[in-house]
Amino acid sequence: MTNDERPPVLIGEERIRARVGELAAEISRDFAGAEGLLVVGVLRGAFIFLADLVRRITVPLAVDFVATSHYGSGTAASGHVSLLADVRCDLAGRPVLLVEDILDTGHTLEFLQRHFRGRGPSRLRTCALVRKPARLRAGVTADYVGFEIPDVWVVGYGLDCDERWRGLPYIGVAPKAAP
């Protein structure tokens, strides 16, 4: 693949739009009547997904972000996840929806669930745009999942490969193999 070539489409814009609508409807039903819903996005990969999702959730909500990093070059393969930036809101007694881009090995989600549970939210639910079942650790899952995908490196719709292709409007397959 040359530099100018766009990654081939795995999940097109229309499918994403439809699925985000379904997820938002499900989340809106589940959180109906909830007071003070806080939607927390995991930077940076989840920013476009979160932006589309919150515009279609009908429950009043606030938005905050966390940022995580993984030690070493292999993405989360080592399982060492650290927090680069934390939410600014108090989570105690609030319903929280954590929004991730990808569930790959699941280390990031496990880490964040532990982190957030310690803050005493009244409810903690998790949402991931895509999941790679082939790589996911046993017992780790999200409450809401957009798409299951094969073990390929995906880019676009917020996801990157060394910071490239985040702005693609669809989810495509990058040439880089998953670590």
Residue positions annotated with a catalytic role: 104
Residue 45 or 121 having the CB closest to Mg ion: 45
Residue 96 or 100 having the CB closest to Mg ion: 100
| Region near ligand IMP per CB under 6 A, out of 11-19, 26-34, 57-65, 99-107 | 99-107
Q: What's the min distance (Å) between Cβ of 101 and Mg ion? A: 5
Q: What is the DSSP string of 58-122?
A: -S-EEEEEEEEEESSSSTTTT--EEEEE--SS--TT-EEEEEEEEESSSHHHHHHHHHHHTT--S
Q: Does 172 bind Mg ion (CB under 5 A)?
A: no
| Cβ neighbours of residue 121 closer than 8 Å, sequence gap 6 or more | 38, 91, 92, 93, 94, 95, 96
Draw the binding track, 4-43, toward ligand IMP (x: CB under 6 A; -: no contact).
Answer: ----------------------------------------
Residue 54 has a CB neighbour count (10 Å cut-off) of: 19
Binding-site member from 7, 41, 45, 95 for Mg ion (CB under 5 A): 45
Q: Which spans of this chain sit near ligand IMP (rule: CB under 6 A)? A: 45, 75-76, 100-109, 153-154, 159
